[in-house]
Structure 1
Amino acid sequence: MRTIAIDAMGGENAPEAIVQAVLQAKTELKETKFILFGDQAKIKKLVGSDTDQIEIVGTTEVINDEDEPVKAIRTKKDSSLVVAAQYVKQGKADALLSLGNSGSILASGIFIIGRIKGIARPGFMPTLPVKNSDDGFNMIDVGANAKTKPEYILNWAKMAAYYAEKVRGIRNPRVALLNNGSESDKGDDVHQEAYQLLLDSELNFIGNIEGNELLDGKADVVATDGFTGNAVLKNIEGTSSVLIHLLKDNLLNSGFLVKIGALLIKNALKGLVSKFDVDKYGGAVLLGLDAPVVKTHGRSDQRAVYFTIKQVDKILKENIIDQFRAEFATDK
């Protein structure tokens, strides 16, 4: 049986949204056990009598957004995140899921669970929407590393491509390097060297991709440095949110005729909103660790957590960590 350790106290809607998502997911995932870490009394009340496949581990502390990540995981030993990570490290659980802050999850992953041998730096990888497909694309790294080396980018691309193929079902995924031009000599020394490493690899590398092309669906995997990736991710999230809000506001507040027109194109509008529904893709995977660690947005509701749970379960089914160990153990 697969076992997922879940930090039930992370995020704005904890523990309610997390527990409800677990109760929803476990009816489908009969071969999966869920261990919930956090305020035992609150969690038990929410779980009620529906305890099949569920274990509750009581903890007394919570890591907050304002806590310094490394200090927090060292001082808050009985926090829901730290104890959940320890269960994974000790083999009592197979994967970790949290809605907590990215820095603390990253620190827990590196210093408690540990990296895969041959991976110098793990990278955060979400799945993002594209305009011409429901598959989306993976982008890595989006904030785990402020500084990057070319070999890091190559390793992230390898892991992301394998994830895209095994978890998302994309055969021979197209890999691109995010850069400030399509030509091979664009970018700084790091990106030029990363370009050559990707070109010489066995990946289906299609070259550089520019920021304005990301949502066109030209690539299945986009590799980038963590600083740029985080800025681009926040821009995509912010722009999508603003555009959808403006669209709804204008349709609802521009007079009777516009409302009639909105009714006529209702199905098309639903399709547009669905296209930018990032919840259905799950959370950001911290690739490069010795066990699956997935972080979903702190504002996530039950629906978003439910999709993330299914994502984690699929990762475990495909045994991608074993594949990464085999692949990178031979790397220099």
Structure 2
Amino acid sequence: MRIAVDAMGGDFAPEEIIKGTLMSAETSPDVQLILVGRKERIEPFLAGSLPKNVSIFEASEVIEMDEHPANAVRKKKDSSIVVATRLVKQGEADAVVSAGSTGAQMAAALLGLGRIKGIERPAIVTILPTSEGGKLILDVGANMDATPAQLCQYALMGSIYATKILGISNPRVGLLNVGSEEGKGNELTQKAYPLLKEAPINFIGNVEGRDVPYGRADVVVCDGFAGNILLKTAEGLAGVLFDQIKEKITSNMVRKLGALAIKPGLKEIARMMDYAEYGGAPLLGVNGISIICHGSSKSKAILNAIRVARECVQVRLIDQIRQDLLK
């Protein structure tokens, strides 16, 4: 198995990307890892010689976060994300992992890999930590104006991913809405509801935003506009809560003593809420494995993202989606 890693993508590239790749090389010696990027920027962060299962593939350009994704992908054909995706297209890699511009990665995947037959638009899936473990939300930004049929496709792909990668048997699929009753919502959700009821999935009906953190659905389906707002709100709220907890429990000596007693529990919660534990998730619907990581990913997140890529390849995720679409 060969996995291409975009060494130049992300807020902490290339150092943290390289660290995570080398960690993966040590824990998964059977996987060939390809660092894609500028060799002169990669080599200074390598501790001596490369492990036998790590190589460098030269890519002279980098797509910056503030560049227009589609235009940059078309103009910078030797950028790290375009080259890494091309390796997958040409069969020289089985998956690509990147923490760079999400828009650029999506454009590179669409232009370079194309869509799976039967999928109109790809969906960015993310794993949101909940009280019941990690749950899927899709779409969180690939397609702002989805159709009812596309939401149904998201549900199918999300259900397959939850089963094959997260190990959830018969995952519960919910439609994000403003109320739990059938008939609630806007035109999109009202038209999507009957399609989801007839789809070969475990559809449990509408779920409200407050249901998501409690893990009442294993897969939450929505358009990219609503999904992105839900994700960013959850991230911001979690950050504020942890900051407030830290401030209040250390505000005086008595509370500091009490904080020592609850510190192990707080660490467990922090670990559960840490996106690095999940690493990344695939852009579902494209004809190849393209794992999207958080822009601020460090070595631990990259290590886990490579693990996710490996699992997607091992279970033949693309073939699974194709087969279910033919049913």
Please give the range of the TM-score, normalised by the shorter of the 2 chains.
over 0.9
* 8 Å contact kept, 2:289–2:312: yes
Q: Give the equivalent residue in structure 2 for 1:209.
A: 207
Q: Percent identity?
A: 41
Deviation at 1:320, TM superposition (A): 0.8
3-state SS, counterpart of residue 27 of structure 1: helix
Hey, what's the Cα distance between the residues in 2 that align with 1:318 and 1:52? 25
Matched, 1:70 2:70: yes
Partners in 2 of 1:284 and 1:241 — Cα distance? 21
In the other structure, the counterpart of 1:181 is 179
The residue matched to 1:187 in structure 2 has which SS?
A: coil
- What is the CA–CA distance in structure 2 between the aligned matches of 1:24 and 1:271, rounded to whole Å? 23
TM-score relative to the length of structure 2: 0.97
CA contact (8 A) 1:145 1:225 kept: yes
- Does 1:3 pair with 2:10? no
Q: In structure 2, how many angstroms separate the alpha carbons of the residues matched to 1:92 and 1:239?
A: 42
The alpha-carbon deviation at position 6 of structure 1 amounts to 1.0
| In 1: Cα distance, 2:275 partner to 2:322 partner | 29
Match of 2:296 in 1: 299
Give distance in 1, aligned partners of 2:139 and 2:265: 33
What amino acid does structure 1 have at the position aligned with 2:10?
A: G
Match of 2:117 in 1: 117
CA contact (8 A) 1:174 1:219 kept: yes
Tell me what 1:269 maps to: 266
Shift of 1:112: 1.1
The Cα of 1:317 is off from its aligned counterpart by 0.8
Partner residue in 1 for 2:83: 83
For the aligned residue pairs, the C-alpha RMSD in angstroms reads: 1.2
Alpha-carbon separation, structure 1, partners of 2:8 and 2:275: 22
Deviation at 1:266, TM superposition (A): 1.4
Distance in 1 separating the partners of 2:177 and 2:137: 13
Partner of 1:126, secondary structure, is strand
- 2:30 pairs with 1:31: yes
- Look up the equivalent residue of 1:150 and give its one-letter code: P
Mapped to 2, the partners of 1:105 and 1:166 lie a distance apart of: 23
Conservation of the 8 A alpha-carbon contact between 2:271 and 2:277: no
The structure 1 segments of at least 4 consecutive aligned residues displaced by more than 3 Å after TM superposition are: none
**Residues in 2 aligned to 1:255 and 1:271: alpha-carbon distance in whole angstroms:** 24
Give the superposition deviation at 1:125: 0.3
Deviation readout 1:32-58 (Å, 9 max, x if unpaired): 111111110222332331331111011
Report the alpha carbon displacement of residue 72 of structure 1 after superposing the two structures with TM: 0.3
Contact kept in structure 2, 1:128 and 1:281, CA below 8 Å = no
Which amino acid in the other structure matches residue 315 of structure 1? C
Deviation at 1:3, TM superposition (A): 1.0
Q: For 1:247, give the aligned amino acid.
A: I
* Structure 1 counterpart SS, 2:282: strand
CA distance in 2, matches of 1:39, 1:251: 46
Shift of 1:7: 0.8
Cα distance in 2 for partners of 1:200, 1:86 equals: 37
Give runs of aligned pairs for residues 213-292 of structure 1, distance below 5 A: 213-252=211-250, 254-292=251-289
Alignment of 1:92-171 (within 5 A): 92-131=92-131, 133=132, 135-171=133-169
Q: Secondary structure at the match of 2:247?
A: helix
Does the residue aligned with 2:301 lie in a helix, a strand or coil? helix
Preserved CA contact (<8 Å) 1:125 1:285: yes
CA distance in 2, matches of 1:237, 1:231: 10
1:165, 1:153 → 2: CA distance?
18
Residue pair 1:125, 1:140 contacting (<8 A) in 2 also: yes
Offset, 1:249: 2.1
State the partner residue of 1:56: 56
Q: Secondary structure at the match of 1:265?
A: helix
Aligned counterparts of 1:214 and 1:18: Cα–Cα separation in 2: 31
Q: Is the 8 A contact 1:44 1:56 kept in 2?
A: no
Q: Shift of the alpha carbon at 1:223? A: 0.5
Task: Name the SS of the counterpart of 1:147 in structure 2.
Answer: coil
Task: Note if contact 1:69-1:104 (Cα within 8 Å) is conserved in structure 2.
Answer: yes
AA partner of residue 275 (structure 2): V
**Is 1:44 aligned to residue 43 of structure 2?**
yes
Q: Which residue of 2 aligns with 1:21?
A: 20
Unaligned runs of 5+ in 1: none
Question: Match for residue 315 of structure 2?
Answer: 318
Does the 8 A contact of 2:281 with 2:308 survive in 1? no
Instruction: State the Cα deviation string for residues 233-277 of structure 1 (Å, max 9, x = none).
Output: 00011111111112112223x110110010121122122212212
Superposed displacement of residue 27, structure 1: 1.8
Conserved in 1, the CA contact under 8 Å of 2:99 and 2:297?
yes
Aligned residues between the structures = 326
Mapped partners of 2:28, 2:287: distance in 1: 23
SS of 1:143's partner is coil
Cα displacement (A) at 1:192:
1.1
CA distance in 1, matches of 2:232, 2:122: 20
Do residues 309 (structure 1) and 306 (structure 2) align? yes
- Can you give the 5+ residue segments of structure 2 that lack an aligned partner in the other structure? none
On the 8 A contact 2:151/2:221 being kept in 1, the answer is yes
Q: Distance in 1 between matches of 2:29 and 2:263?
A: 37
Structure 1 length normalisation: TM-score?
0.95
